[in-house]
Amino acid sequence: MNLLLNPQHGAAETLDTARAPEPLQYVRFRQRNLAKDDAFGENSGDQELCLVLLSGKATIHCGDQVFEDIGQRMSVFEQVPPYAVYLPNDTDYRIEAHTHVELGICGAPGYGQHAPRLIEPGQIKQATRGEGANVRHVHDILPETEPADSLLVVEVYTPAGNWSSYPPHKHDQDNLPYESFLEESYYHRLNPSQGFGFQRVYTPDRSLDEAMAFGDGSSVVVPRGYHPVGAPYGFDLYYLNVMAGPKREWKFTTDPDFSWLVG
């Protein structure tokens, strides 16, 4: 199974997980670049969206609302929370770029239960997880404690030489309150950009067991299984996660072979 999507360099939309050989059922992620003064617009269709300003400044029109001149970081590696906009399904939106803009379009099934809203950096919970070579820094952009129909969105910074999404965990069983079924996509960035990282996706019975070296701007889709990530020494790793499933709740199970690390 091919779970790795490499970016289409030079294209306005460099990534779309719908183009994966086996697209996810609940999760769709797209990455789009806009040059200064460019504009992009469409309708959200049957999906609710979280538009994440990965870098740059823009004005976003959605329905009758306008979020004027939002954005503060010029690189994801500034490690400050982003601006984002939540949109329900069947909503027209338009983005006008005031600088070069790197945009993450995170989508999942929408049911029209929530209004468009701006998510400001000060609203985003920040946390540091792990210890030693397992430290990573987390920004909860759209966690389950905030209103949405299906979407969960989070970004993670993993310092060079560290592991992330580790110890390996999975969320592929609809078995609440112990584990929930959530598909997931990763959008990876590396600093310096010429580096690489590693990700393994595997199930307990190894019917799925894929190990991938990804580059800057690549995406990995996780339909099921454990999915740890490694950042080589010398290269900081950023990734944006999108998760969704039949129930909007994140409950995971750690690989029993690694449970001693969290005991």
* Amino acid at the residue 45: G
The number of residues making up the chain comes to: 263
State residue 1's pLDDT score: 75
Q: Would you say the pTM of this structure is higher than 0.75?
A: yes
| Backbone torsions φ then ψ of 4, nearest 5 degrees | -105, 130
Beta bridge partners of 115: none
Q: Which residues of 110-122 are buried (b: 16+ CB within 10 A; e: fewer)?
A: beeebebbebebe
Give residue 252's domain range.
4-261
The CATH number linked to 191 is 2.60.120.10
Distance CA(88)–CA(178), nearest Å, equals 29
Is 160 within 8 Å of 238 (Cβ atoms)? no
Cα 260 from Cα 230, distance rounded (Å): 19
Question: What pLDDT is recorded for position 12?
Answer: 83
| Whole-number Å distance between alpha carbons of 165 and 153 | 14
Domain total for the chain?
A: 1
pLDDT for the residue 69? 97
Q: Are 236 and 189 in contact (CB under 8 A)?
A: no
The reported pLDDT for the residue numbered 135 is: 96
The predicted structure's pLDDT at residue 180:
98
Q: What is the C-alpha to C-alpha distance for residues 51 and 29, in angstroms, rounded to an integer?
A: 10
Pairing of strands 117-119, 58-62: unpaired
> Would you state the structure tokens that stand for residue 190, as one six-digit string?
């590396």
From first to last of the 263 residues of the chain, give the pLDDT tens digit.
789 999 998 888 899 999 988 889 999 999 999 999 999 999 999 999 999 999 999 999 998 899 999 999 999 999 999 999 999 999 999 999 999 999 999 999 999 889 999 999 999 999 999 999 999 999 999 999 999 999 999 999 999 999 999 999 999 999 999 999 999 999 999 999 999 999 999 999 999 999 999 999 999 999 999 999 999 999 999 999 999 999 999 999 999 999 999 86
Whether 93 and 61 have beta carbons less than 8 Å apart is answered as yes
Count of C-beta atoms within a 10 Å radius of residue 156: 18
242 vs 154: CA distance, rounded Å: 7
Q: Is residue 226 helix, strand or coil?
A: strand
The predicted structure's pLDDT at residue 22:
82
pLDDT of res. 211: 97
